[in-house]
């Protein structure tokens, strides 16, 4: 496991702390529609304040590609952050480097907080420019990274800056790294993984790594169709990547070699179209009518997975088991998620989930508070599941 310092290991009293957070919140017409990412930064900021630090919060927001774009300003986030900190004032600097930033930082008292403008208004951020990293570093004495979700990118504020300042992981980063280590680095076995979602092609490396590391791999969602097709099953007009059949067979072969049990749906919910009020029924996976499409695992398959979890100690989850956005095709995801949540609450299962649509699929199942860790990271979570080294994490290592 990467060994890294936490904010307990560094002296921050009276010091200027550059906190790289992920405040890339969803926004509509200038209004924040989901404050999860802001709320998750609060424990780190609160701890830094309690230790007497001057907290300089920095983040990216959208993809302005080096341009100053008003709709991608972090200014509205300063108020939301202040609200999340129980009304503690959060100053805002109109730029993340230079005079504006320096002025705002120089006005901070111990325990004060300033939010810097969007890092990506400077193209030097995304090219990991050391000169730009030095300008960011010059604002502070210590660097803390709480943005696991940005750790798969070597950017100036996630990578190059660590060469300029003493550095540590924030509380959120710490919690995510510890959960990931428990799930895949050094897990209590048996370990199961639920991998669902639309396509095999986007999760090839992930599947390859999973079969090496986990004891049971539960494949669901659209990608299960490709696996069924690869085994000669007629899947009607279901979403399927026929050109991925060889790859799917290779994954199955590799699983056999690594003693990884693969569970594919044995019954499926089929419908005439992917739409509200589509007519649907449950059939055996071997009996999919040619004019219908698979949109969910059937209840027998969901129960089989739920039962399997009873004999597991650790669960990794990425991707829904069906087209969960439209009811009732969220049924299998909901049933398995609720079982996993119940086992977690009973202390029998460690559950770590994340990546892409997983957060909304699990929120839809009503279990977002009950898993051990649900990471809001998308790309970083997937790259970690693929077994890749994340530059932002490597840079934090001692
Ligand atoms: P991903 O981003 O790869 O995790 O894929 C998530 C998407 O997969 C969701 O939008 C689901 O609606 C979709 N999905 C899951 N199962 C199916 C299926 N059987 N047919 C079509 N789309 C599906």
Residues contacting ligand 1 via CB (< 6 Å): 197-199, 202, 221-222, 239, 294-295, 319-320, 322-325, 356-357
Kindly give the number of the ligand 1 atom that is closest to the alpha carbon of 221. Answer: 16
Q: How many domains does the chain have?
A: 2
Same domain, 206 and 136: no
Residue 164 lies in a domain: yes
Residue of 194, 197, 237, 386 to mutate, ligand 1, most atoms within 8 A of C-beta: 197
Query: What whole-number distance in Å separates Cα of residue 198 and Cα of residue 57?
Result: 36
Among protein residues, the one whose CA lies closest to atom 11 of ligand 1 = 323
Cα-to-centroid distance, 397 and ligand 1 (Å): 36
Q: How many CB atoms lie within 10 A of CB 140?
A: 23
**Residues 239 and 270 grouped into a single domain:** yes
The active-site residue out of 111, 378, 379, 387 is: 379
Contacts of 96 (CB under 8 A, 6+ apart): 58, 116, 117, 118, 119, 121, 122, 136
40 and 130 both lie in a single domain: yes
Same domain, 66 and 101: yes
Q: Residue 223 Cα, ligand 1 centroid: separation in angstroms?
A: 8
CA of 294 from ligand 1 middle (Å) equals 11
Rounded distance, CA 363 to CA 180, Å?
20
225 assigned to some structural domain: yes
User: Tokens 């300089």 sit at which residue?
Assistant: 56
Q: What stretch of H or E contains 359? A: helix 358-364
Q: What are the pLDDT tens digits along the chain (398 aa)?
A: 558 999 999 999 999 999 999 999 999 888 999 999 999 999 999 999 999 999 999 999 999 999 999 999 999 999 999 999 999 999 999 999 999 999 999 999 999 999 999 999 999 999 999 999 999 999 999 999 999 999 999 999 999 999 999 999 999 999 999 999 999 999 999 999 999 999 888 898 999 999 999 999 999 999 999 999 999 999 999 999 999 999 999 999 999 999 999 999 999 999 999 998 899 999 999 999 999 999 999 999 999 999 999 999 999 999 999 999 999 999 999 999 999 999 999 999 999 999 878 999 999 999 999 999 999 898 999 999 999 999 999 999 87
Q: Is the domain of 246 the same as that of 336?
A: yes
Evaluate whether residue 107 is within a structural domain: yes
Same domain, 122 and 255: no
For the chain, helix, strand, coil in percent to 5 are 40, 20, 40
Last residue of a domain, one of 171, 204, 234: 171
Residue 323 lies in a domain: yes
Can you read off the two tokens belonging to residue 302?
A: 């969901």
Cis ω for the linkage preceding 190 (within 30 of 0):
yes
Sequence-ordered strand ranges (E) for 166-287: 167-169, 191-195, 216-219, 261-263, 267-271, 280-284
Label residues 103-129 b or e (16+ Cβ within 10 Å = b): ebbeebeeebbbbbbbbbbbebbbebb
Told to judge if 112 belongs to the known catalytic residues of this protein, a careful annotator would answer no
Regarding whether 199 and 140 lie in a shared domain, the answer is: no
Are both 167 and 124 inside the same structural domain?
Answer: yes
Pocket test for ligand 1, best of 298, 323, 327 (most atoms within 8 A of CB): 323
Nearest in space to 66 (alpha carbons), one of 194, 179, 155: 155
Q: What residue numbers bound the domain in which 87 lies? A: 16-171
The answer on 214 and 65 residing in a single domain is no
Residue 271 lies in a domain: yes
Same domain, 231 and 368: yes
Question: Residue 9 burial (CB < 10 Å; 0-12/13-18/19+)?
Answer: exposed
How far is ligand 1, taken at its centre, from the CA of residue 4, in Å?
A: 36
Is 345 an annotated catalytic residue?
Answer: no
Residue 391 lies in a domain: no
Candidates 137, 310, 282, 130; CA nearest to 216 is 310
Task: For residue 392, report the phi and psi dihedrals to the nearest 5 degrees.
Answer: -70, -30
Cα–Cα distance between 182 and 1 in angstroms, integer? 10
Ligand 1 atom closest to Cα of 319? Answer: 4
Single out the residue of 253, 241, 139 nearest to residue 198, CA to CA: 241
């Amino acid at each position: 496991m990467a060994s890294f310092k936490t904010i307990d290991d560094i002296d921050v009293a009276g010091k200027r702390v550059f906190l790289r957070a992920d405040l890339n919140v969803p926004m509509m017409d200038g209004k924040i529609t989901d404050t999860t990412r802001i709320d998750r930064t609060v424990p780190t900021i609160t701890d830094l304040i309690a230790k007497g630090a001057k907290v300089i919060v920095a983040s990216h927001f959208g993809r302005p590609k080096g341009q100053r774009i008003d709709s991608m300003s972090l200014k509205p986030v300063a108020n939301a952050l202040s609200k999340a900190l129980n009304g503690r004032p959060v100053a805002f600097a109109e730029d993340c480097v230079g005079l504006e930033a320096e002025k705002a930082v120089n006005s901070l008292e111990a325990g004060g907080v300033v939010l810097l403008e969007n890092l990506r208004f400077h193209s030097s951020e995304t090219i990991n420019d050391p000169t730009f990293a030095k300008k960011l570093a010059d604002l502070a004495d210590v660097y803390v990274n709480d943005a696991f979700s940005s750790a798969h990118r070597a950017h100036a504020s996630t990578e190059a800056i660590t060469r300029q300042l003493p550095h540590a992981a924030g509380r959120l980063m710490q919690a995510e790294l510890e959960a990931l280590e428990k799930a895949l680095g050094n897990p209590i076995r048996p370990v199961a993984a639920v991998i669902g979602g639309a396509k095999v092609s986007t999760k090839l490396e992930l599947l390859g790594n999973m079969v090496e590391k986990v004891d049971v791999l539960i494949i669901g969602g659209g990608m299960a169709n490709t696996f069924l097709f690869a085994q000669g099953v007629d899947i009607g007009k279901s979403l399927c990547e026929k050109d991925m059949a060889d790859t799917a067979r290779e994954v199955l072969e590799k699983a056999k070699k690594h003693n990884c049990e693969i569970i594919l749906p044995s019954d499926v919910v089929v419908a005439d179209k992917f739409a509200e009020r589509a007519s649907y029924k449950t059939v055996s996976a071997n009996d999919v009518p040619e004019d219908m499409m698979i949109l969910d695992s059937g209840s027998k398959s969901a129960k089989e997975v739920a039962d399997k979890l009873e004999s597991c100690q650790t669960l990794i989850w990425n991707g829904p088991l069906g087209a969960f956005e439209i009811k009732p095709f969220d049924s299998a995801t909901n049933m398995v998620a609720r079982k996993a949540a119940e086992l977690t609450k009973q202390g029998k299962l460690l559950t770590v989930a994340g990546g892409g649509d997983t957060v909304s699929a699990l929120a839809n199942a009503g279990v977002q508070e009950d898993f051990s860790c649900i990471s809001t990271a998308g790309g970083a979570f997937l790259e970690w599941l693929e077994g890749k080294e994340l530059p932002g994490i490597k840079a934090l290592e001692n």
